[in-house]
Each structure stands twice: as structure tokens, then as C-alpha cells.
Structure 1
Amino acid sequence: MNKRGHVLNAVLLSIGLGYVLDPSGDVSTFATIAEVFLPVVLGALFPDVDTAFGKHRKTLHNLPVLLIFLAHPVYHGGNLQWVWLGVVTHYVLDIVGSKRGIALFYPISSTEYGFPTGVTTSSDRAEAVTVAITLFELAAIAALVYVLPTYLPPQAAEIVANTTNVVV
């Protein structure tokens, strides 16, 4: 995917996430969208900073970088707690949506992993693929927020509810 695709994904994901976390459809939903919008967009764009240095789809497109972003909210929280989601969705778009894939195990291995479902970044189907992947991501997030807690022990369900601000 190109920058336009990642931004499209992040914008649509932020809007959908606002409705998943606060489905009321009133002012509080729009406040939730505003809260997650900037961190998700920043996270979605961050991995492509490696176009300015290093090796693109290797230097910042790997599991060690993702682990750093996943650990950030645990240690710091605050208004950037959703950056990790932007990074994850960037990886998903590059793995599932593009022909090339990413080097998940870089610097140990430069092998790039991707699904055969991807299109080239210049394809006229790139935006449609981006929207389809975004809808899949939103469905997965909704399942994690609303379905998974019913199968978790009460303490774990409470942690999910506190993390997402959703009543389960």
C-alpha cells in the first residue's frame, strides 16, 4: 500500500473504532473518534518513515518495532495509547493488501511475507482492497471488544472493559 492507502485505512478505522467503542452515535461517539484519530493516523504512517533511511518494508516493518509500540501503552498510556493500532493496521495492509509484503523478522531475516491477495500500489483496485481490509479489521476489533469478553474469566473481561471503556 502507498501513503494514501494507509491514511484512508487510518481515517476509516478511526471512525469505525469510535462507533465500536461508543456506539451511541451522539457527541460522545464523535469525541471518541477525535480521541483515537490522531494516534491511529500517526501509527499508520510511522512505519513508512523507513523510506527516508534504512530499507523500506524492513527497518520499521518488523516484529521488534511492533513490540515496542504494543508495550508503549502499558508503560505510558496517555493520549498516544492507540498508536499501536495504526502500526498493526499498517502491517496488515502491507501483508494482505500489497503484493510485496514485509520483512517481519528483520534484521534476522530479510525474507518478506505477504498474502497472494495483494495488489500493486499503483493498481486501480488498491483503494477497494484497502476499504475491504479496513472492514475486516473493524469486524475483528468489534469481535474482540464485544464477543471475546464473554469467553474470558471475569477479571480478564474487566480488564478488557477498562481498556476499551466499553461496558461488558
Structure 2
Amino acid sequence: MRLRFPRLRVIVLVAMVVAALAIVGWWAFGPSGVAVELTKRSWRMEIIVERLRSESGSDWCDELPEGAFDISRRTIADPTGKRAEPGEHCRYNVLAWRRSWIVKNEGGPGERPDWPRPPLRMAPPGQPGSERLSKREAYFEIELRDREDHAWVCRVDAERWQQLRVGMRFRIPVDRFGTANCPAMYPSNI
């Protein structure tokens, strides 16, 4: 005995199989990444400001850092056992540059990126309290959003940042944890 499917059931079944194969094919062979649009461009210029501070320390007197002052000495045995004989151990102060604060300027494409110019404290030479500019960092960032309003912020170099415009569309690989691979971003015609 032979089973016969009504013609409508066969058509529906074939349509479902074709749709499933199309979805799997698109997933496997379609364009990779998430379709996104550039929604914002911004820049930030940061400079670390260091302050000259007086710090205390202790060490063997024959291993003091350069510039040590207010030295007090005492003779002790080495607790680590590296020195066979008791030796002079010193407590001292030394001037050292330490990170104090960060100054920054930030803006968007309508403003020219510019380094901040903070007022710096000046103390007499050899005295704590003076400040100086240290490490500089420039950040050029773009914000990308997909159709579900998920957002990613990517850093790009200054030259690329100048070329990009709000409204441009891209595809960007996103891992299963939602982290975008910004360097792998490429233009899209979505």
C-alpha cells in the first residue's frame, strides 16, 4: 500500500526545507559580521601630570638611590642571609616624580583636536611640589550602532578618523561575547 501526500502538504514541506537551506546558506556563506552605521565621531587628548614628591624608603646604605637625603643609619644583620656580616641599613628620603592627575581636552568633528595646556605648579629647585607634563595619549573614536541599537566604540588612527563620516555603513565582526573586532571593520553597501 502506497501513501500519498496531498499536493499542498508536499509543497509546504518543500518550501520549509528550501527556506531552512537558504537560512543555513546565508549564515554559512553570506557576508560576515554585523551591519552597523557610524553614529558619532569624537577625539580626546590626555596628558599625565606628574608632581615631584618627597618619599621615604629604606635600604642598605651602600645601595641608596641617587639624591637620597635625611639619611639615618643603623647596623643590623641581614634577615635574608645574603650578607654574611652585619651592615649599615639606612632610612632616607628622596625626591621622585609621581603621577598626580590627568588633564584632557575632548570634542567632536567640529572642533580641532588640541592638546590641553594646564597651569603647572612651580617650586624652588630641589623642593617637592613642582609639576611637569609627562606621557601624552591621543584617542580618536567612532561609535557604531546596529539595527537593534547595540553600540560599539572603536579607536582608529587620526588619518582614518578624518576620512570617516556619520552615516557611513560598515560590517564588523562581533564575537559571541559581543566584543567587536574593530580592525577588521570593512565598508558595506547595506
Name the larger-Rg structure: 2
| TM surpasses 0.5 | no
TM-score (norm 1): 0.22
More helix by share: 1
Structure with bigger RCO (C-alpha 8 Å, 6+ apart): 2
Give TM-score scaled by structure 2 length: 0.20
